[in-house]
Amino acid sequence: MLEFLLPLSFLIFCILILSVVWRVNARKYISSGTVASAYDAWTQDKLLERLWGEHIHLGFYASGGGDVDFREAKIQFVHKLVKWSGLDKLPKGSRILDVGCGIGGSSRILAKYYGFNVTGITISPAQVKRARELTPSGINCNFQVMDALDLKFEDGSFDAVWSVEAGAHMNNKTKFADEMLRTLRPGGYLALADWNSRDLRAYPPTFFEKLVLNQLLEQWVHPNFISINEFSNILRTNKYSSGKVISGNWNTYTNPSWYDSIIEGFRRPLVILSLGPLAILKSIREIPTILLMNWAFRKGLMEFGVYKCRG
């Protein structure tokens, strides 16, 4: 039934709202500072955390349907990516770098369930502060403010590098890959998941698709999107890479997250109300972009890329 709730006319209406009414409040990418500011704001108002829990990323639905609790699906995503990428083969005590760690949800799972020594980095000072607050003593995680395009670690510092839904915020995807693979020890594991567009050079977007992509870029501080194949080639040809890269498209497993992220507001209305009237407005503000994201991923304009390779 939900498939019929998003006709083309409503999508166009959403785009017009985003373009005209909220133009002055658009979160357009200008620099890494605008990414930091956006995530500081999202973290400090606590709306996303209260609604979605400790994980801001999408969830994993094994059957491709929304038959799993939204928060549990996010936890399952972490475990699925660990197993798919081979990180579960690493011994306890392995050094893991979580690039774009958010408020530390994935880092804590990697430390608690797999016994890893995890360093999480994010461009957002507010996220680091909150990640530290949420991490109990005895969980082997530490969090730092750091730019993913300028990692302050020596070559080969980590046994694995982990990154989920961070690359879309990077204006230089090659540098992003360089820094992750540089800090990975020879033979170490890279596990990465990200939002990608389809190959826009081979399959140019229509006028309507260009409007959609523009909104997805400007509303959530994304400088650009590239395809799964493009980023795979960047990893494959990197001087620090073994050259063997395996990638996949997890659209089917992650797409139910978009509707669930909206439905959570109806499941937990007191969460929004407890944060005051402004939280209600902020919640409504995000809905058109989430619906556009859902449409773009369902139609194949966007793809959920997963990648694994060895250093």
Residue with tokens 């956006």: 38
Contact present, 98 and 121 (Cβ < 8 Å) = yes
- Burial (CB count <10 Å: 0-12, 13-18, 19+), residue 65: exposed
Extents of the domains making up the chain? 2-310
Please name the residues in contact with 112: beta carbons below 8 A apart, sequence gap of 6 or more.
139
Q: Which two tokens stand for residue 92?
A: 């306890």
pLDDT tens per residue, range 111-161 = 999 999 999 999 999 999 999 999 999 999 999 999 999 999 999 999 999
What is the mean predicted confidence (pLDDT) over 53-78? Answer: 90
Q: How far is Cα 249 from Cα 238, in angstroms, rounded to an integer? A: 22
Q: Which two tokens stand for residue 117?
A: 């020594």
Q: Which two tokens stand for residue 204?
A: 């140019």
pLDDT of residue 67: 74
pLDDT of residue 254: 96
Looking at CATH, the fold of the domain delimited by 2-310 is given as Rossmann fold (3.40.50)
Q: In which element (H, E) is residue 193 found?
A: strand 184-197
pLDDT tens per residue, range 161-195 = 999 999 999 999 999 999 999 999 999 999 999 99
State the pTM of this model: 0.92
